[in-house]
Structure 1
Amino acid sequence: VIMESRDFDFVIFGASGFTGKYVVQEVFKHCKTDGITMAVAGRNRDKLTKVISTAVGENEDEIQVEVIIADVKDFQSLVLMCSRARVVLNCVGPYRFFGEPVVKACVEAKTNYVDISGEPQFLENMQLKYDEAAKEAGVIIVGACGFDSIPSDLGAVFTQQQFQGTLNSIKAYLSVNAGPSGYGFHFTTYESAVHGISDVKSLSKIRKQFGHKPLPTVGPRMKREGFMHYLSFAQSYCIPFLGADASVVKRSQRYFCEELDEPPTQYSMYSCIGSMWNIFLMMVFGGIFKFLAMRSWGRSLLLNHPKFFTLGLFSHEGPTKQQLKESSFNIVMFGEGYPTGSFDSNKKPKKKITVKVSGPEPGYVATPIAIVQSALCIIQEKQNLPKRGGVFAPAAAFGKTSLIPRLHERGIKFDVLNHS
């Protein structure tokens, strides 16, 4: 992996966006402790300057942060931006519309790249189109370095590491906990979901182009839960998780299997929804949402009235500071497999482990922590990164680094609850 000296360790692209602002604040913490040099980039100098002064506060004399003007519609401006950084932290979404030029510019400028996309179409398409070019350029391109999908992907690795045997499968259960002020998301996440649902067919086309062989299983195929089931551990009804996590974990497990010759673990993920009434509401709103998202007039309607169609959950204002402070997440992972030296594919897995990955508010507190620690791993742990450049899922890129303890130290905790 190439590590040329550049003007800046990190350039944060889209720094004045809702999530970008929080990423800048998170990077700023490391300017002093790790001697990180940074610049912010985007289209609007005034907005970017404002973001800097908010993040830097009274330390303006000590830390200089440069502003770089770059626009996804001006490819040359992106190449110039990328050529000044060791790692670009791309916070400009939806990535299906704005992500590819930045990836392409990073490959051209031989610059490492991380983003916070949770869009499988984008993530897998970038691997399909740029893995070979990134390999030749000697750069690491890693999508999904936010809450999508660091806790799941590295959580699966943590479970494998702690298992002491051969792990057959993991069933993961996500709970997002809001405080008294409720919970909120920013519009960009909603926009990505609207377009993601409308374009599910393109994902299967991308996957066909890879021509992957089915991943081998260590022991029996995992039995997946149906649309709805009750989890007594969480005292909650659960439905399959609709995010990118399972697909991201599978990409990492494929890398471990095909490139490192390590046994892959099957992974499925579910959302803890709470009561039957919540499930009913989700089915009603989900049905309306899907119906509208599949039609262009419906998408316009959804995108023009986010608050109405999500009962106030998604808005252009995003969550309040109080909501961020009060919210948290946890993912409980139930793993099962075989003790060391006793693997028999004809027998059912008997050994079990329960792991919990937990942390602060996922979208705008945990996400900046995750992307910044990922970027730090790239510049501080070259020896532990994949031996080649390429486009990777997070655990494939960072599974051998100290990312898990780094995150644990900063409040995204990885704990073994039970081992039997």
Structure 2
Amino acid sequence: MAETREFEVIVYGATGYTGRLVAEYISQNYAGDLRWAMAGRSADKLAAVRDEIGAPADTPLVVADADDPQSIADMVARTRCVATTVGPYQLYGEPLIAACAAAGTDYVDLCGEPAWMRQMIDRYGDQAKESGARIVFSCGFDSIPFDLGVWFLQQAAKEEFGEPSKRIKGRVRAMQGTFSGGTAASLKATMAAAARDPEVVKLLLNPFSLTPGFQGADQPPGNTVDYEADLDSWVAPFIMAAINTRNVHRTNFLLGHPYGEDFVYDEMVLTGPGDGGEAAARAVAGDNSLGSDDGPKPGEGPSKEERESGFYDVLFVAEGEDGQRVTVGVTGDKDPGYGSTSKMIAESAICLVRDVPDAPGGILTPGAVMAAPLIERLEANAGLTFKRES
């Protein structure tokens, strides 16, 4: 990609709740060091947000609208990477994907919509390879802590076992914070799409929906309540597993199956031992609030204090052939859906542009294109930790 483009990163959707947080993070941490701009549908709203977040008065503003393809094309031609928070992506995302794939412009988003992602892979994957565009979905809480957590653990497994583990568990130990309104809207849009199209249902049910032409080993169902003796805890379904597990398998696929073609991975929530743990697990399993009309709305979100007090802690367990185990913990210091996610997508965009500029194009995952340098960035700048525990 030409080094002479006007911007390194454009934040598209900067007047939305999450986009504003991304712009604020970049302004506070990279002002004067990064050539960046804020983009959205309204110049007046962009200027107001720029002033509200304390960004420099000369921060460039770019007017672009998904309903105006020429404005999208003009925007992507000016930058090396677009970081977009404009979702649900299945409703608003394709024009930007098409423009980036055509122009050789890098792209990062917060997508957790696997059926739409597969459709974009089929439609634009080859063009992105040809143009050199690195299109990277799921650069927030879904799915960076999980995709990179598995990658990080596999490096430890190779040291301990002499080879990667064929079986890894992801277990959420603790989490405080809310899922984003965008996540809730994406879930509703996905369910509506499934009701219209049986092919969408097939993609949603297939753990290998993001690995075209490859179908791996049977995977755990992930929708049960059970007791795991090795962890002395009951486990419950984890709502983000539907996207995270597919991204992990896609990373393995894109890297040439270093985890093995028979790799097995699942994610659950740990709720503790005993009767209390079982009751908590059943309560988690029965919680449908994210998809209800009372759930968070796009553009809405928690207060700064709520974001600052949030956190998450995920355990990853690798099993060896002889009963050996290696464990890794991944933590984040802000609420997952907003505070941590906004930092992760910003660092992903900068990592693509600055740390892996020569990586080939295509529709990729964080783990496949920038695992080690992104982990380094996230630990240095974004409040995440990746630590081997045993």
* Match for residue 148 of structure 1 among 138, 142, 147: 142
Query: In the alignment, what sits opposite 2:384?
Result: 412
Deviations 1:159-210, CA, capped at 9 Å, x for gaps: 01122122112100124433xxxx4344322111122234454152597797
Aligned to 2:319: 336
Q: Residue 128 of structure 1 contacts residue 210 of structure 1 at CA under 8 Å; is this kept in 2?
A: no
Displacement of 1:369 after TM fit? 1.6
Deviation string, structure 1 residues 130-156 (Cα, Å, up to 9, x no partner)? 110001111110010111101100111
Q: Does the C-alpha gap of structure 1 residues 273 and 197 become closer, same or farther in structure 2, counting only changes over 3 Å?
A: farther
Q: Aligned equivalents of 2:170 and 2:27: distance in 1?
A: 33
The correspondence for 1:320, drawn from 297, 303, 324, is 303
Give the alignment partner of residue 134 of structure 1, picking from 113, 120, 128. Answer: 128
SS at match of 1:323: helix
TM-fit CA distance, 1:226: 6.4
1:247-272 superposed Cα distances (whole Å, 9 cap, x missing partner): 110100111125xx664643211123
Q: Distance in 2 between matches of 1:233 and 1:210?
A: 31
- Aligned residue type for 1:362: P
Counterpart of 2:366? 394
Find the residue that maps to 2:54 and give its secondary structure.
Answer: helix
**2:8 maps to which residue?**
9
Are residues 6 and 226 of structure 1, via their aligned partners in 2, closer, same or farther at CA, if it must alter by over 3 Å? closer
Deviations 1:16-43 (A, max 9, x none): 111001100122234347x101111111
TM-score computed with the length of structure 1 as normaliser: 0.80
Q: Which amino acid aligns with 2:185?
A: E
Report the 3-state secondary structure (helix = DSSP H, G, I; strand = E; otherwise coil) of the residue aligned with 2:101. helix
Distance 1:230 1:223 in 2: 14
How has the CA–CA distance of structure 1 residues 209 and 30 changed in structure 2, closer, same or farther, with 3 Å as cutoff?
closer
Instruction: Confirm or deny: 8 A CA contact 1:94 1:188 kept in the other structure.
Output: yes
Q: Residues 336 and 128 of structure 1: is their aligned pair in 2 closer, same or farther, counting only changes over 3 Å?
A: same
The aligned amino acid for 1:241 is F
- C-alpha distance after superposition, 1:291-310 (max 9, x if no partner): xx7xxxxxxxx4xxx32xx4
**Alpha-carbon spacing, 1:380–1:363, altered in 2? closer, same or farther (3 Å):** same
CA shift at 1:11, angstroms?
0.7
The secondary structure found in structure 1 opposite 2:267 is strand
**Distance in 2 between residues matched to 1:10 and 1:395, nearest whole Å:** 20
TM-aligned CA deviation for residue 44 of structure 1: 1.6
CA distance in 2, matches of 1:280, 1:315: 28
SS state at 1:267 partner: strand
Length-normalised TM-score, structure 2: 0.86
Describe the shift of the 1:408–1:256 C-alpha distance in structure 2 as closer, same or farther (beyond 3 A). Answer: same
> Counterpart amino acid of 1:156?
V
Question: Is the Cα contact below 8 Å between 2:211 and 2:253 reproduced in 1?
Answer: no
Alignment match of 1:377 (pick from 340, 351, 356): 351
What is the alpha-carbon distance in structure 1 between the residues aligned to residue 279 and residue 114 of structure 2? 30
Residue 284 of structure 1: how far off its partner (Å): 4.5
Given the alignment of the two structures, is residue 36 of structure 1 paired with residue 34 of structure 2, yes or no? yes
* Alpha-carbon distance in 2 for matches of 1:318, 1:234: 34
Cα deviation code 1:195-243 (max 9, x no counterpart) = 223445415259779752334x7xxx77666601235787753223232
Return closer, same or farther for 1:5/1:234 CA change in 2, 3 Å cut-off: farther
Q: More displaced, 237-246 or 90-99?
A: 237-246
TM-superposed deviation, 1:281: 4.1
Amino acid at match of 1:11: I
Q: Equivalents in 1 of 2:97, 2:329: separation in Å? A: 33
- Structure 1: how far apart are the matches of 2:98 and 2:83? 14
Deviation at 1:3, TM superposition (A): 4.0
- Structure-2 separation of matches of 1:208 and 1:358: 28
Runs of 5+ consecutive residues of structure 1 not aligned to the other structure: 294-301, 338-347
TM-aligned CA distance change 1:211 to 1:189, over 3 Å: closer
**Of 86, 103, 115, the match for 1:121:** 115
> What is the alpha-carbon distance in structure 2 between the residues aligned to residue 317 and residue 21 of structure 1?
12
Q: Give the CA deviation at 1:315.
A: 7.7
1:358 to 2:331 alignment: yes
Q: Please give the root-mean-square deviation of Cα atoms over the aligned residues, in Å.
A: 2.8
Structure 1 position 70 matched with structure 2 position 70: no
Q: Any idea what the Cα deviations from partners look like across 1:333-378, whole Å, max 9, x if unmatched? A: 01112xxxxxxxxxx4433101001002111111122111111111
State the alpha-carbon separation in 2 of the partners of residues 328 and 193 from structure 1.
23
Cα gap change, 1:71 to 1:266, in 2 (>3 Å): same
CA distance in 2, matches of 1:155, 1:117: 18
Change (3 A) 1:417 1:208: closer
Q: Distance in 1 between matches of 2:346 and 2:319?
A: 32
Q: Gaps (5+ residues) in structure 2?
A: none
- Whether the 8 Å CA contact 2:236–2:285 is kept in 1: the answer is no
Supply the distance in 2 between the matched residues of 1:193 and 1:314 (Cα, whole angstroms). Answer: 12
* Gap change, CA 1:16 and 1:232, over 3 Å in 2: farther
Amino acid at match of 2:234: Y
Distance in 1 of aligned mates of 2:365 and 2:75:
24
Q: From the superposition, tell whether residues 222 and 81 of structure 1 become closer, same or farther in structure 2 (CA, over 3 Å).
A: closer
Identity %: 29
Aligned residue runs from structure 1 range 226-265, under 5 A: 227-231=224-228, 237-243=234-240, 244-257=243-256, 263=260, 265=263
Asked whether 1:172 is paired with 2:145, we answer no
Note if contact 1:79-1:108 (Cα within 8 Å) is conserved in structure 2: no
- Give, in whole Å, the separation in 1 of the partners of 2:210 and 2:324: 37
Q: CA deviation at 1:4?
A: 3.6
The amino acid across from 2:355 in the alignment is E
